[in-house]
C-alpha cells in the first residue's frame, strides 16, 4: 500500500486544499486589482492581456537576471504600464472602457507572445515557498502545505486593502469616484486622475498575479499559460461584491474547483479528467448567471461601473 491509497479520500481533500492555494494566487491578485479598478468606476477587461504580459516579462527578467523577485517587480510594472494605457485612453471623452479593455486584452497577449518567443525554452529560477508540512510523514500533506510566498502576500494584502478602502483618504476618494462622478467633481477631485490611479495600481497587482503563473505554478512560460484566468477574475469580482476579503475567499473557491481534476487523479480516478478541468469555467458561468439575475440585487456594485448600470 502506498501513501496515496492509505489516505484515501482524505488525500483528495488535501490535494484540493493544496491546489486551491496554488491555483488561487493569480486569481487573488487579479481580482484584488480589478476590485480597485472597479471601485474607481471603470472596468478593465484587459486583465487577461496584463496577466499574460506579466507572466512573460516576469519570466524573462528572472531568466536574464536570475532573480525571481525582480521578475515579480518587473511583471507588476509591465501590468501597471498596460493599465496606464487603458486609463489614458479611457480618460478621453466618450470612450467605452469595455471596448478598450477588449483591445488591450488582445494587444497584451499578442505583445507577450511576440516578445516571449525567445523565453519558451530557458528555465527561470522559481519563487520560494514556505514548508509548513515538515511535521508530516505523508508526502501529500507536505506538498499541500508548501505555501508560496506570493499567496501569503496576497492573503495579507486582501485585509489591508479592505481596511484601506474604509480608513484612508485615498480609499474614500477612490470609492467616491466609483460611486458618484458628480460628488467627486463637486469635491474638487480630478475624476480621471483618481480613476487612472485605481486602474494603474490594479494593473500592477494583475501583473504580479501573472508572474506567479510563470515563476511558481505551473512555473514556465508558454503561450497557453493563462487560459482565460484574467477574464474569469472579472466574473469573480462581481461574485465577490467588490469586497477584497470576499475576493480572497472566492479565489480559494475557484482554485479549489480547478484542483478537483488533478486531485482525483492522485487516487486513480482519471476518467472525465477534462470534464473536471472545466469545473472553474462552469463555476464562472454559473456565478455569472446567478449574479445577473434580474431578481437579485447587485449590492455593493460601484454605481459608475458600466456593468451595474
Nearer to other proteins, 113 or 189 (CB): 189
Distance CA 160, CA 284 (A): 26
Shortest Å, Cβ 178 to other proteins: 9
C-alpha cell of residue 207 = 501583473
Nearer to other proteins, 99 or 187 (CB): 187
How distant, in Å, are the alpha carbons of 66, 82, 173, 212, 223 from that of 118? 16, 21, 43, 19, 12
Nearer to other proteins, 130 or 187 (CB): 187
Distance of alpha carbon 187 from the chain centroid: 33
Shortest Å, Cβ 39 to other proteins: 10
Q: Which long-range contacts (CB under 8 A, 24 or more apart) does 162-169 make?
A: 162/243, 162/244, 162/245, 165/39, 165/244
Distance CA 199, CA 265 (A): 40
Nearer to other proteins, 169 or 271 (CB): 169
* Residue 270 backbone phi and psi in degrees, to 5: -115, -15
How distant, in Å, are the alpha carbons of 24, 159, 176 from that of 147? 12, 19, 36
User: 214, 221 in Cβ contact below 8 A?
Assistant: yes
Contact residues: other proteins, CB under 8 A: 166-170, 172-173, 175-176, 179-180, 182-183, 186-188, 293-298, 300, 302-303
Shortest Å, Cβ 174 to other proteins: 11
Shortest Å, Cβ 38 to other proteins: 13
Shortest Å, Cβ 187 to other proteins: 5
C-alpha cell of residue 267 = 487516487
Nearer to other proteins, 188 or 268 (CB): 188
Shortest Å, Cβ 191 to other proteins: 13
Nearer to other proteins, 186 or 286 (CB): 186
User: 82, 291 in Cβ contact below 8 A?
Assistant: no
Amino acid at each position: 500500500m502506498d501513501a496515496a491509497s492509505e489516505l484515501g479520500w482524505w488525500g483528495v481533500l488535501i490535494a484540493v486544499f493544496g491546489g486551491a492555494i496554488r491555483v488561487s494566487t493569480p486569481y487573488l491578485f487579479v481580482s484584488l486589482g480589478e476590485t480597485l479598478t472597479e471601485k474607481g468606476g471603470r472596468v478593465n477587461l484587459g486583465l487577461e492581456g496584463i496577466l499574460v504580459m506579466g507572466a512573460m516579462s516576469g519570466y524573462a527578467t528572472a531568466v536574464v537576471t536570475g532573480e525571481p523577485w525582480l521578475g515579480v517587480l518587473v511583471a507588476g510594472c509591465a501590468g501597471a504600464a498596460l493599465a496606464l494605457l487603458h486609463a489614458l485612453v479611457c480618460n478621453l471623452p466618450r470612450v467605452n472602457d469595455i471596448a478598450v479593455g477588449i483591445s488591450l486584452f488582445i494587444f497584451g497577449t499578442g505583445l507577450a507572445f511576440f516578445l516571449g518567443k525567445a523565453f519558451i525554452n530557458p528555465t527561470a529560477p522559481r519563487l520560494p515557498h514556505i514548508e509548513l508540512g515538515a511535521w508530516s510523514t505523508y508526502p501529500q500533506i507536505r506538498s499541500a502545505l508548501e505555501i508560496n510566498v506570493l499567496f501569503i502576500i496576497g492573503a495579507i494584502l486582501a485585509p489591508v486593502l479592505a481596511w484601506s478602502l474604509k480608513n484612508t483618504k485615498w480609499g474614500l476618494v477612490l470609492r467616491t469616484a466609483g460611486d458618484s462622478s458628480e460628488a467627486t467633481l463637486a469635491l474638487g477631485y480630478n475624476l480621471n486622475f483618481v480613476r487612472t490611479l485605481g486602474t494603474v495600481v490594479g494593473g500592477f497587482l494583475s501583473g504580479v498575479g501573472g508572474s506567479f503563473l510563470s515563476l511558481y505554478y505551473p512555473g514556465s512560460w508558454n503561450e497557453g499559460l493563462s487560459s482565460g484566468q484574467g477574464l474569469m477574475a472579472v466574473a469573480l469580482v462581481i461574485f465577490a461584491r467588490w469586497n477584497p476579503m470576499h475576493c480572497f475567499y472566492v479565489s480559494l473557491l475557484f482554485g479549489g474547483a480547478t484542483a478537483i481534476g488533478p486531485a482525483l487523479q492522485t487516487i486513480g480516478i482519471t476518467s472525465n479528467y477534462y470534464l473536471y478541468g472545466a469545473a472553474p469555467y462552469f463555476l464562472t458561468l454559473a456565478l455569472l448567471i446567478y449574479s445577473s439575475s434580474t431578481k437579485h440585487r447587485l449590492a455593493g456594485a460601484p454605481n459608475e461601473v458600466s456593468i451595474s448600470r
